[in-house]
Amino acid sequence: MLQGYKLFTVTHRTTDINQIADFIIEAPDDEVLARKLKKIKDYFGIDELMYLNTCNRILFFMYKPEAIDINAFFFAVNEKLRKMSGSLHQSIEYYEDELAIHHLYEVASSVDSLVVGEREILRQLREAYRKCKTKFEITGDKLRIAMQMTVKSAKMVYGNTRIGEKPVSIVSLAVKKLLQSSPLPESRVLVIGAGQTNLLMSNFLKKYKFQDVVVFNRTLEKAQLLADRFTGNAIALDDLKTYQKGFDIMIICTGSTAKFVDSNLYAQLLQGDTDQKIIVDLSVPSNIDKGVFADHDINYIEIESLKKLAADNLAFRKNEISKVKEILAERVIEFKEVYRQREIERDYSHIPQQIKAVKEKAINVVFKKQLEAVDPNARLLIEEMMAYMEKKCIAVPIKKAKQDQLAD
Ligand SMILES: NC(=O)c1ccc[n+]([C@@H]2O[C@H](COP(=O)([O-])OP(=O)(O)OC[C@H]3O[C@@H](n4cnc5c(N)ncnc54)[C@H](OP(=O)(O)O)[C@@H]3O)[C@@H](O)[C@H]2O)c1
């Protein structure tokens, strides 16, 4: 029934993450990418094509009733792949017809993701389709209907299962734990390290409108870039030992392997303050010396317990997979029905024009003279009746065909 849909994919499941890059269509910009995709589409006689590229997934979704030589397809994607022609099939997953739709549903619903339940994949999929449709103009009605139903199914999955619940990223878990202490926006925050992790943490500081933020980093320019995001101050890491303004929350995450926050430095940073402090420590290994905890009252949010929580949450999400699969199986049946209806609409698409042409001929040729003889009100009524008939006549054969299909 769904013959013609095909899906080729290379993912973290079959291929080393670093090797996935070989399956990407190399293109410095969208113009080049569009040209390359169109070339592949024309060369293989593909009716409609869509391309998704994420850090752990390359996916080609297409409509073409005839078979495609998969090796040749990927050689067109990247010449370098010829070198691994003997083992190429081990990296590529191939689905067709109903299974292609089913796999697309699974991808969009994130059951196939490295981090199960991560909704980002749905956004990426929609964006890839939008580009292929409006910018590259390489999709058509078959992919439109498939994507429409895919998005609908994924939304149903996220709305009716708990697959997207319970955070699994270390940063979001750290933020959640920090918020449990109800910190005030006026809290004095020290951010130590200005790498990717603290960049993500800074989104939280911005969101919750923390105003007193100081960023320390080995490279001052990077500290400044991060501090500028919420008009905070930037200071070189070396100057931490002379910092005298105190703090309430310390967010520390650097690539250093040294426990440079020791009891002496910590006491200096406290400036005599004895209130409980919050430390969010995401460095691996930790940059905080054990002695610090012995001497001070600290609400310590550390990476090991967060990692454990992340693993538990991921296991919880994975438990939802069987429910998701049930929903998707039903949705594929629904897709078949929608697809069938759409086929009928396509088959009967000439009918409206034909009926309209009959109407126009009746008014302008066959009954032209008689109509000219009637008064304007009567003519208006006749034309309204004919428009009504036109509309009804168009619906009759399509309705009948749909009923016949249902009875089959
Ligand atoms: N396992 C997990 O799930 C997970 C999650 C989050 C974080 N982490 C850990 O967090 C740490 C940082 O991660 P990231 O993603 O933010 O890394 P990143 O983007 O590479 O940034 C590294 C940061 O650490 C600083 N740094 C590196 N070496 C240093 C040293 N010897 N002394 C002082 N500062 C140093 C860098 O300063 P410059 O700007 O001067 O280079 C930069 O601010 C790593 O230990 C990582 O393993 C792990």
Classify residue 316: in a domain, yes or no.
no
Position in ligand 1 atom list of the atom nearest CA 193: 43
Q: Which of 204, 206, 209 is nearest to 178 (CA)?
A: 204
Same domain, 25 and 156: yes
The overall pTM is greater than 0.85:
no
The b-or-e profile of 108-119 (16+ CB within 10 A means b, else e) is: bbbbbbeebbeb
CB 147 within 8 A of CB 140: no
Position in ligand 1 atom list of the atom nearest CA 223: 39
| H or E element in which residue 326 lies | helix 321-347
Residue 229 pLDDT: 87
Pocket test for ligand 1, best of 115, 197, 261, 265 (most atoms within 8 A of CB): 197
Tokens found for residue 35: 């040209």
Classify residue 382: in a domain, yes or no.
yes
Taking the centre of ligand 1 as the mean of its atom positions, its distance from the CA of residue 33, in whole angstroms, is 34
Q: Domain range for residue 356?
A: 342-407
Taking the centre of ligand 1 as the mean of its atom positions, its distance from the CA of residue 313, in whole angstroms, is 24
Same domain, 374 and 354: yes
Ligand 1, atom 10, lies closest to the CA of 283
Taking the centre of ligand 1 as the mean of its atom positions, its distance from the CA of residue 277, in whole angstroms, is 22
In the block, which residue shows the tokens 């304007």? 376
Same domain, 124 and 180: no
Taking the centre of ligand 1 as the mean of its atom positions, its distance from the CA of residue 195, in whole angstroms, is 5
The residue type of 339 is Y
Position in ligand 1 atom list of the atom nearest CA 237: 33
Q: What are 321-338's pLDDT values in tens digits? A: 999 999 999 999 999 999
**CA 314 → CA 15, 118, 167, 273, 318, distances in Å?**
22, 10, 8, 39, 6
**CA 136 → CA 42, 147, 358, distances in Å?**
13, 16, 38
Q: What are 150-181's pLDDT values in tens digits? A: 999 999 999 999 999 998 999 999 999 999 99
- Domain boundary, last residue among 127, 142, 166: 166
- Gap between the Cα atoms of 188 and 179, Å rounded: 15
Ligand 1, atom 33, lies closest to the CA of 256
- Gap between the Cα atoms of 254 and 39, Å rounded: 46
Taking the centre of ligand 1 as the mean of its atom positions, its distance from the CA of residue 266, in whole angstroms, is 20
CB 319 within 8 A of CB 116: no
Ligand 1, atom 44, lies closest to the CA of 255
The β-bridge relationship of strands 188-192 and 48-54 is: unpaired
Classify residue 189: in a domain, yes or no.
yes
Classify residue 312: in a domain, yes or no.
no
The b-or-e profile of 364-396 (16+ CB within 10 A means b, else e) is: eeeeeeeeeeeeeeeeeebeeebeeeeeebbee
The CATH number of residue 139's host domain is 3.30.460.30
- Domain boundary, last residue among 166, 194, 221: 166
Same domain, 174 and 162: no
Ligand 1, atom 2, lies closest to the CA of 170
Q: What sections of 260-320 are H helices per DSSP?
A: 263-270, 291-295, 303-319
Taking the centre of ligand 1 as the mean of its atom positions, its distance from the CA of residue 209, in whole angstroms, is 24
Same domain, 49 and 36: yes
CB 107 within 8 A of CB 301: no
Q: What are 23-72's pLDDT values in tens digits? A: 999 999 999 999 999 999 999 999 999 999 998 899 999 999 999 999 99
Q: Which of 271, 205, 204, 266 is nearest to 232 (CA)?
A: 205
Classify residue 315: in a domain, yes or no.
no
Residue 362 pLDDT: 92
Taking the centre of ligand 1 as the mean of its atom positions, its distance from the CA of residue 271, in whole angstroms, is 27
Ligand 1, atom 25, lies closest to the CA of 254
Pocket test for ligand 1, best of 253, 281, 313 (most atoms within 8 A of CB): 253
Tokens found for residue 229: 């995001």
- Angle, nearest 10°, between helix axes 170-179 and 303-319? 110
Same domain, 357 and 210: no
Same domain, 32 and 86: yes
- Gap between the Cα atoms of 365 and 33, Å rounded: 52
Taking the centre of ligand 1 as the mean of its atom positions, its distance from the CA of residue 197, in whole angstroms, is 7
Same domain, 145 and 205: no
Residue 408 has pLDDT above 70, yes or no: no
Same domain, 229 and 257: yes
Q: What are 3-28's pLDDT values in tens digits? A: 999 999 999 888 988 889 899 999 99
Q: Average model confidence (pLDDT) for the chain?
A: 93
Confidence bin at 348 (pLDDT 50/70/90): confident
Ligand 1 pocket by C-beta < 6 Å: which residues? Answer: 170, 193-198, 217-219, 222, 237, 253-256, 282-284
What would you report as the CA-atom Rg of the chain, rounded to the nearest whole angstrom? Answer: 31
Classify residue 187: in a domain, yes or no.
yes
Same domain, 296 and 201: yes
Residue 53 pLDDT: 95
Pocket test for ligand 1, best of 115, 169, 220, 254 (most atoms within 8 A of CB): 254
Position in ligand 1 atom list of the atom nearest CA 197: 16
Taking the centre of ligand 1 as the mean of its atom positions, its distance from the CA of residue 19, in whole angstroms, is 25
Taking the centre of ligand 1 as the mean of its atom positions, its distance from the CA of residue 255, in whole angstroms, is 3
- Gap between the Cα atoms of 189 and 246, Å rounded: 9
Same domain, 252 and 281: yes
Ligand 1, atom 21, lies closest to the CA of 195
Q: Which of 239, 2, 188 is nearest to 102 (CA)?
A: 2
Classify residue 325: in a domain, yes or no.
no
The CATH number of residue 211's host domain is 3.40.50.720
Reduced DSSP (H G I as helix, E B as strand, rest coil) percent helix, strand, coil of the chain, to 5? 60, 15, 30
Same domain, 188 and 282: yes
DSSP state, 8?
Answer: E
Mean pLDDT of 95-113: 96
Classify residue 322: in a domain, yes or no.
no
- Domain boundary, last residue among 128, 149, 166: 166
Domain count, the chain: 3
Residue 157 pLDDT: 97
